[in-house]
Amino acid sequence: MIFLALGILLSGCVHQSLGLSRRKDAATLGPNFESRQLSHQQKTREYLLYTPQKYDVSTPMPLVIGFHGGKTSNVMFAKSSLFHHLADEQGFLVAYPNAIDGNWNDGRGTANPDVDDVGFVTSLIENIKNIRNVDPRRIYVTGISNGGFMVQRLACESSHLIAAFSSVAGSMGTSLRPKCNPSQPVSMMLIHSPQDNFVPWRGGEMKRGAGGNILSVPDLVEFWNQKNSCTVMKEVPLPDNGQKDNTRVTVSRYGGCKDSSEVLLYKIDGGGHTWPGGEGQPAWLVGPTSMKINATKESWIFFKSHSLQ
């Protein structure tokens, strides 16, 4: 995926592409995609909906919503994460929404502060429920960079609608932390590299993209552990997948949490600001992409073990 910085470099091209036919966007991704619109805050909002071949209108199906990075687009995220490919195999719907002007209002207060993206996601879910048989207990969200920050905000404000969350190369704005009071325990998966040069592992002031002061990854993990009253941590060994890159993945699983929630951290030593296992991510710009794991598959494995109670 071409994330934050490349999105800024190419923002003119991106915004021109956003003006093209949404049907054309969907067509570039293959069959079973539908370009859809809804109205929220008197704005026209757009998303792509993928319906897998095994969809049966009589059977409720899980829904995964994927949020693109800053100054990029839903098409870019779809092409790099390929959730729709996994959807055919595993049987779930996929929605790829588009942000206003390429940025989500993720709670940092630095981009689109007047845009109600949390409300948009609620409207998006209802819009999809009107046309597909969605299992309301199995709705999941994931995202990269600015999209990962948006996942954190949704965990704070929409845990009554969403069963589990996956945030890649994102964090939480420090200004959101004191306001984050989810209505129920949150199952959260984090994937991040200490060498991420865009969203720093150590937190503090972001120097790139939309900026803002953010939590460190260890502080974010501890935040969700406290919210969920987790009591147990163990490192989980990863089987060798045969990939010979220069990254190393450590998985820390936090359990003993309320209502069977859990927190999971994938630490990608030697990685970059990337979607692990994804395609089209230029190392010269965003750093190395670890192929030791596939963030799409790991997210789904995490998601399918959680449902709203």
Span 55-100, pLDDT tens digits = 999 999 999 999 999 999 999 999 999 999 999 999 999 999 999 9
User: Positive or negative, the Cα torsion across 301, 295, 122, 92?
Assistant: negative
The reply to whether 309 falls in a domain is no
* pLDDT band (50, 70, 90) for residue 145: very high
Mean predicted lDDT score pLDDT of the chain: 92
Q: How many residues does the chain have?
A: 309
Report pLDDT for 239.
80
Cross-strand bridge partners of residue 59: none
Residue 24: pLDDT band by 50, 70, 90 thresholds?
Answer: low
Statement: residue 28 has pLDDT above 90: no
State percent of the chain over pLDDT 70.
Answer: 92
CATH at residue 238: 3.40.50.1820
User: Quick one: residue 228, left, alpha or beta (phi over 0 = left, psi -120 to 50 = alpha)?
Assistant: alpha
Give the orientation angle of helix 22-29 with respect to helix 74-81, to 10 degrees.
10
Please determine, for residue 258, whether its predicted confidence score (pLDDT) is greater than 90: yes
What pLDDT does residue 80 have? 95
pLDDT score of 237: 78
Dig out the tokens for 247 from the structure. Answer: 């990254």
Which two three-digit tokens encode residue 154?
A: 């949704």
Q: At what angle do helices 83-90 and 295-303 cross, to 10 degrees?
A: 40
Domain that holds residue 69: 4-303
- The mean pLDDT of 24-43, rounded to a whole number, is 91
The arithmetic mean of pLDDT across residues 242-248, rounded, is: 90
24 or 307, higher pLDDT: 307
Number of CB atoms found within 10 A of residue 2's CB: 22
pLDDT range class, residue 165, cuts 50, 70, 90? very high
**Which of 117-121, 186-190, 235-239 comes out lowest in average pLDDT?**
235-239
164-168 and 134-144 beta bridge pairing: parallel
Q: Which two tokens stand for residue 295?
A: 């963030």
Domain count of the chain? Answer: 1
Judged on CB neighbours under 10 Å (0-12, 13-18, 19+), 307 is middle
Secondary structure (H, E, C), the chain: CCCHHHHHHCHHHHHHHHCCCHHHHHHHHCCCEEEEEEEECCEEEEEEEECCCCCCCCCCEEEEEEECCCCCCHHHHHHHHCHHHHHHHHCCEEEEECCECCECCCCCCCCCCCCCHHHHHHHHHHHHHCCCCEEEEEEEEEEECHHHHHHHHHHHHCCCCCCEEEEECCCCECCCHHHCCCCCCCCEEEEECCCCCCCCCCCEECCCCCCCEECCHHHHHHHHHHHHCCCEEEEECCCCCCCCCCCEEEEEEEECCHHHCCEEEEEEECCCCCCCCCCCCCHHHHCCCCCCCCHHHHHHHHHCCCCCC
What was the pLDDT predicted at 211?
A: 86
Q: What is the mean pLDDT of residues 267-294?
A: 95
Range in 17-26, 48-57, 150-159, 214-223 the model is least confident about: 17-26
Give the range among 9-13, 133-137, 150-154, 244-248 with minimum mean pLDDT.
9-13
pLDDT of residue 23: 57
Closest CA to 68 of 184, 191, 151: 151
- Measured in whole angstroms, the distance separating CA 198 from the mean position of its chain's CA atoms is 16
Structure token digits, residue 204: 């503090």
152, 141 contact by CB (below 8 A): no
Please indicate, yes or no, if residue 46 is contained in any of the structural domains.
yes
